[in-house]
Structure 1
Amino acid sequence: MKIKKRAIGVGWLAPIIVILMAGSGWSQTGARYSIKLPGVISYELNLPSLVAFANGYLTEEGIDLTDFVVGSGGTLRTAMIAKEFDVGLFSFVHVPIARIGGSPWKAVLSTHDLEIFSLVVRSELKNKVRSVADLRGMKVGFSTPGAASWHVGSLFLKKAGLDPEKDLQYVSLGGDPGVIYTSLKTGKVDAFSAWEPTTTRVIEEGVAFPLVRIWEPAEHKKWIGEKALSLMMITREDVIKEKPDLVRRMVNAHKKGLSFIRARSSAEIADLVLKNPKTAEQFQGLGRDLVVKIFDRIKPGFGDGCLSRSGFEVEMKLAVEYKIVKRAITFEEFANTTFAGACP
């Protein structure tokens, strides 16, 4: 399996998208699918996919994964709207943006039931920055406009009374973890709306300290709520109508991946994905001990794949209240619970 970069300028690896193409030879239906999996290096988002590949769950469902393709959230959303892809993994905000724009997206499986973005600040500023409001006049980084890092970073700032367009420099860095790490280390930005592997790496190496610790329940409740429908597998209504078996197989493989993650220790999960040469490509430059710490931090957010109405309502309310999206959509517009089920 190859990792390919999609040429997009500031390539944030934001959503994971699945290009599904009918093949042949699957024993149950006579059809097999060959997929390319463009996506984000966000272990909260793609760990179920990596486990599903490494443990053979995708193969069991008649799916051959051939490539990972690196791209930015906004660019891949545009391609998904243009029907270049059929199925993918995205953060919450992309679904209402797409639907409001006229593309009938549907969430079909939850991959992570907690918000994933923390706000980290350069260690040199620890005595100066004690609250989010203290970032006034500074340079705060995010991935790309319209992506989840931008969305949640904006939420943190606005909740603290800051206007990202007027009270500070809100800087797009793209989604390359190496670029983000270097930008914090060199002072190109003073803070960043971070996800894994960046969050744990910069904290462990002393490059930055966490100002908002979203993995802590009290902090999550303060900034977001009890839970959140943060990350999910999506498709479009036309795909559900024309290729329901495709969607079902992808959901089944990822539910198996989620079950494995919940049942095994972080060390066991790390050994699985690091020892498989294909999935190990997603962890280049990271030692096993750091990977285990990352998994320890994010593991509580993995559920069974069901789509939470209350988690949706939390995210939708915040997105509208802080003007991240133009208007609200309903849970029924947002989700199709046929494949993974619904939960409170």
Structure 2
Amino acid sequence: MSNLSLNRRRFGVLAAAAVAAPALRAQARPEKNKVSIAVGGKASFYYLPLTIAEQLGYFKAEGLDVEISDFAGGSRALRAVVGGSADVVSGAYEHTINLQSKNQLFQAFVLQGRAPAIAMGVSTKAMPGYKNVGDLRGKKIGVTAPGSSTNMVANLVLSRAGLKASDVSFIGVGTSAGALTALRSGQIDAMSNIDPVMTMLEQKGDVRIISDTRTLKGTQEVFGGPMPAGCLYAPMDFVQKNPNTCQALTNAIVHGLKWLQTAGPSDIIKTVPETYLLGDRALYLASFNKVREAIALDGMLPDDGARTALKALASFDTSIKGDKIDLGRTYTNEFARRAKERYKA
């Protein structure tokens, strides 16, 4: 072999190594292989990207052994991380703002939902003569868990009608069969919840929807702008100490989001556990079609979405002062940007 071709070969190897080097750096091993994620209502569409990443082995592919603990609502999932029994929350972005107002720094690092996908409806049996939100005064409203994002949406709807949270009673009903039973048996008069529960009640004529954020248009009407929803967030301390772990978690979620962009209803049915269907496959699929556009595309949290969330919370919670919140510390797109490039999401 001539010196010229040997040099060419050497140059080719060196060039390939130079190209591979950043990729190798980007794929550094996670600092923590075992990660526990707390979630509030895993079977709901709000957290579908998390389920997809788990069921299709995307966390394992990133070198992670992920344990997911399911709670009745996002506020309870958050408590697990605050209490130290879980590392990361799969929950609503606005909790990071709430926490900062209490001097606790948590940071969202990958978005799962670009709209809350929460609907609020009144029971057609308990309130057949319902005319407006003012009729809810003194009524019992079901939410996934007190303090969760379903509670936040209900508070926003009430405040716009001049009602305070104290004008109603909030009751935690979870996100699955228990929520259906609570409304149908008359334990509650209205409900703010997520799908598939709300579509199931709506299709059977059990509720009349009065506020809907399952579409981007509906979200714009309720919040006046884009409203980020489900995401992975953790104490800022955890994110700073475990950047490779956060990158691996983000990669898995964005891989799931990419898969969801082209997945058909039959793909979803084959992938999620049977129990998620709540005994009605057709209604589950009808729910999926309703919330499909609420699912994030690339894991990136929009800056104007963060501002919308702060404005919404401050509108009914006097303890949240807009000028005291540093939104830049409530989320980072650093990990999602890398994952988006990798998966062309």
Partner of 1:215: 214
Q: Measure the CA separation in 2 of the matches of 1:44 and 1:325.
A: 31
Contact 1:49-1:254 within 8 A present in 2 as well? yes
Contact 2:96-2:107 within 8 A present in 1 as well? yes
2:209 partner SS? strand
Partner of 2:185: 186
Q: Measure the CA separation in 1 of the matches of 2:294 and 2:102.
A: 29
Contact 1:153-1:193 within 8 A present in 2 as well? yes
Contact 2:124-2:206 within 8 A present in 1 as well? yes
Return 5+ residue gaps in structure 2 as ranges.
1-26, 341-345
Q: Measure the CA separation in 2 of the matches of 1:200 and 1:288.
A: 12
Partner of 1:311: 305
Q: Measure the CA separation in 1 of the matches of 2:132 and 2:279.
A: 30
Q: Which of these residues, 287, 302, 314, is aligned with residue 294 of structure 1?
A: 287
Deviation (angstroms), 1:32: 7.0
- Residues 234 and 324 of structure 1, relative CA distance in 2, 3 Å threshold: farther
Q: Do structure 1's residue 334 and structure 2's residue 330 form an aligned pair? A: yes
Deviation (angstroms), 1:220: 2.5
- Residues 313 and 261 of structure 1, relative CA distance in 2, 3 Å threshold: same
Structure with greater strand share of residues:
1
Contact 2:143-2:191 within 8 A present in 1 as well? yes
Contact 1:33-1:62 within 8 A present in 2 as well? yes
Deviation (angstroms), 1:119: 0.9
Contact 1:93-1:151 within 8 A present in 2 as well? no
Question: Which letter maps to 2:306?
Answer: F
Q: Which of these residues, 279, 285, 289, is aligned with residue 278 of structure 2?
A: 285
**Which residues in structure 2 correspond to 1:221-240 (within 5 Å)?**
221-240=220-239
- Residues 126 and 165 of structure 1, relative CA distance in 2, 3 Å threshold: closer
Question: Which letter maps to 1:258?
Answer: L
Q: Measure the CA separation in 2 of the matches of 1:60 and 1:293.
A: 31
Contact 1:44-1:112 within 8 A present in 2 as well? no
Deviation (angstroms), 1:259: 0.8
Q: Measure the CA separation in 2 of the matches of 1:253 and 1:89.
A: 13
TM-score by length of 2: 0.81
Q: Measure the CA separation in 1 of the matches of 2:246 and 2:85.
A: 16
Contact 1:319-1:325 within 8 A present in 2 as well? no
Partner of 1:90: 91
2:89 partner SS? strand
Number of residue pairs matched by the alignment: 309
Partner of 1:39: 39
Structure with greater helix share of residues:
2
Question: Which letter maps to 1:38?
Answer: A
Question: Which letter maps to 2:307?
Answer: E
Contact 1:143-1:150 within 8 A present in 2 as well? yes
Q: Measure the CA separation in 1 of the matches of 2:67 and 2:332.
A: 27
Q: Measure the CA separation in 2 of the matches of 1:72 and 1:229.
A: 17
Partner of 2:114: 113
Cα deviations by residue, 1:185-234 (Å, 9 ceiling, x for unpaired): 12111101111121111112222221223225543222112421122110
Deviation (angstroms), 1:254: 0.2
Deviation (angstroms), 1:272: 2.1
Partner of 1:245: 244
Contact 1:95-1:105 within 8 A present in 2 as well? yes
Contact 1:81-1:98 within 8 A present in 2 as well? no
2:112 partner SS? strand
Question: Which letter maps to 1:295?
Answer: F
Question: Which letter maps to 1:191?
Answer: A
2:90 partner SS? strand
Contact 1:105-1:334 within 8 A present in 2 as well? yes
Contact 2:36-2:88 within 8 A present in 1 as well? no
Partner of 1:3: none
TM-score by length of 1: 0.81
Cα deviations by residue, 1:296-324 (Å, 9 ceiling, x for unpaired): 11110122110111111111101012216
Question: Which letter maps to 2:191?
Answer: F
Q: Measure the CA separation in 1 of the matches of 2:335 and 2:31.
A: 19
Partner of 2:343: none
Q: Do structure 1's residue 163 and structure 2's residue 164 form an aligned pair? A: yes
Question: Which stretch of structure 1 is more off in the superposition, 318-327 or 56-65?
Answer: 318-327
Deviation (angstroms), 1:95: 0.8
Partner of 2:13: none
Question: Which letter maps to 1:305?
Answer: G
Whichever of the two has the greater Rg, that structure is: 2
Contact 1:93-1:147 within 8 A present in 2 as well? no
Partner of 2:203: 204
RMSD: 2.5
